[in-house]
Amino acid sequence: MWREVKRIIDQHHHFMLTTHSHPDGDGIGSSCALTELLLLKGKSVRFVCDSPMPEKFRFLDYHGCFEQYEPSISYDEAEVLIVLDAHRRDRIDRLSALCERADLVTVCVDHHKARAPEFQHTVIDPHACSVGAMLYTLYKECGFDLNLRAATGIYTSILCDTGRFSYASTTRKAHKIADECIKLGVDPDLMYSRLFEQLSLPQLQLFALALKGMGLYYNNSVLIQELHHEDCKNVGLDPAELENLDLDYILEFDKLVSDVVCVILLREIDPLTVRVSVRSKADLNIKPLLQELGGGGHRCAAGALFHGTVASVKDKLLEGLAPQIEAVHCSSSQHSR
Ligand SMILES: [Mn+2]
């Protein structure tokens, strides 16, 4: 699976890493781990993303390799582009234009199920809990030991993509790799507080506003919250930040409610653009619905940037969820019989 990637690494010198826009702990953690491997091999590395790096992940950029994509900057020296945690060109936004360069070698490493990868070389393992966990295998195959920095990136990727070891993706292997990271010096307590205990007061106030206006549908099984520019202004946040704001804590909290099987957060980016974030429980597969809306993700965690109004996306989501919600209710009543 990794032979081709190892060959590409050996044969080139200038590497550019990237991940999907609105990068998460897996995209950034795995980039951190791959950066270490490439530097150990004496390569030059840039990590470029078409979104800013969320503040809480900055500590993972140990070598200052991160830069936000800037159209006026030249990326011509890159020989190889490695895309992590995505397999579609539209997921890397404006960086996808670089793939048109005929002499650029493109590789993608991902754990989302892919129908038609859009890069020259692909390593896809839908059973892997995170891309960071896949890179752990690459280290082993290259005969490299993890250093503490790489282990910290891999641990971050697993912690974030398994919902702190709670999702169905939390396999024995996930725990085994985490065990090795801890053995190398990763501090679970410190990591938890760095990654999950970083809310600002305005973020908490934003949550209060989202809760106030929440809607419950289908016998309280679907919970929808909206955030608008006005809400940001009310808590002293710049509305322009709404799109990139880390609001996972809202979704995670909403999932704690026992009857709820699907939680949805809609942020109005402008009157005709809505960022949609969805999480589900009870094995409810929300990925196809989000793909229909032009997005992607996993069975139980997916998102999309929808072109239309908040009201129209809400209608589409509720309509699309109806048959599935019915199915979940049928199977749960069968269980209880
Ligand atoms: Mn991932």
Q: How far apart are CA 17 and CA 78, in angstroms?
A: 10
Q: How far is the CA of 219 from the centre of ligand 1 (A)?
A: 32
Backbone φ and ψ of 162, nearest 5°: -100, 10
Q: Can you give the pLDDT at residue 335?
A: 46
Q: How far is the CA of 97 from the centre of ligand 1 (A)?
A: 23
Q: Are 159 and 25 in contact (CB under 8 A)?
A: yes
pTM for the structure as a whole: 0.87
Angle at which helices 131-142 and 25-40 pack, to 10 degrees? 20
- What's the pLDDT tens digit per position in 161-204? 999 999 889 999 999 999 999 999 999 999 999 999 989 999 99
Looking at residues 247-260, what average pLDDT do you find? Answer: 94
Instruction: Spell out the alpha helix ranges (H) of 162-256.
Output: 172-183, 188-196, 201-212, 229-234, 248-254
Ligand 1 center from residue 332 Cα (angstroms) = 29
Q: Quickly count: other Cβ atoms within 10 Å of residue 117's Cβ.
A: 17
Q: What's the 230 CA to ligand 1 centre distance in angstroms?
A: 32
Which percentage of the chain shows pLDDT scores above 70? 98
- How far does residue 302's CA lie from ligand 1's centre (Å)? 11
pLDDT tens figures, 218-252:
999 999 999 999 999 999 999 998 988 889 899 99
- Could you read off the pLDDT of 3-29 as tens digits, one per residue? 999 999 999 999 999 999 999 999 999
| Residue 178: exposure state from Cβ atoms within 10 A (0-12, 13-18, ≥19) | buried
CA 337 to ligand 1 center in whole angstroms:
37
Q: Tell me how far the alpha carbon of residue 296 lies from the centroid of ligand 1, in angstroms.
A: 12
Q: Read off the pLDDT of each residue in 93-112 and give the average, rounded to a whole number.
A: 96
Task: Name the pLDDT band for 333 (thresholds 50, 70, 90).
Answer: low
Residue type, 290: L
Q: How far is the CA of 192 from the centre of ligand 1 (A)?
A: 18
Rounded distance from Cα 336 to ligand 1 centre (Å): 34
- Going from the Cα of 333 to the center of ligand 1, the distance in angstroms, rounded, reads 33
Please give the C-alpha separations between residue 172 and each of 27, 122, 169, 176, 270, in angstroms, as whole numbers.
Answer: 22, 25, 9, 6, 43
pLDDT tens, 287-304?
999 999 999 888 999 999
pLDDT band at 337 (very low <50, low <70, confident <90, very high): very low
Task: Compute the distance from residue 131 Cα to the ligand 1 centre, in Å.
Answer: 6
CA of 57 to the centre of ligand 1 (A): 15
Ligand 1 (single-atom ion) residues, CB below 5 Å: 26, 85, 161
Is the domain covering 3-196 a CATH 3.90.1150.10 domain?
no
* Distance between Cα 187 and ligand 1 center (Å): 22
From residue 9, give the alpha-carbon distance in Å to each of 16, 49, 281: 12, 21, 40
Ligand 1 center to residue 251 CA distance, Å? Answer: 17
Sequence-ordered list of residues with C-beta below 8 angstroms from that of 94, at least 6 positions apart, any chain = 50, 69, 71
Mean pLDDT of the chain: 94
If we measure between CA atoms, which residue out of 231, 165, 15, 10 comes closest to residue 104?
A: 15
What is the residue extent of each domain of the chain?
A: 3-196, 201-336
Q: What pLDDT does 327 receive?
A: 82
Q: What is the CA radius of gyration of the chain?
A: 20
Ligand 1 centroid to residue 26 C-alpha, Å: 5
pLDDT reported for residue 332: 61
Rounded distance between C-alpha atoms, residue 138 and residue 142, angstroms: 6
Rounded distance from Cα 84 to ligand 1 centre (Å): 8
User: In 3-state terms, what secondary structure has residue 227?
Assistant: strand
Burial of 20 (0-12, 13-18, 19+ CB in 10 A): buried
Distance CA 315, CA 309 (A): 10
CATH hierarchy code of domain 201-336: 3.10.310.30
> Ligand 1 mean position to 31 CA, how many Å?
11
Residue closest to 130 by CA, chosen among 53, 6, 58, 27: 27
Q: How far apart are CA 24 and CA 160, in angstroms?
A: 8
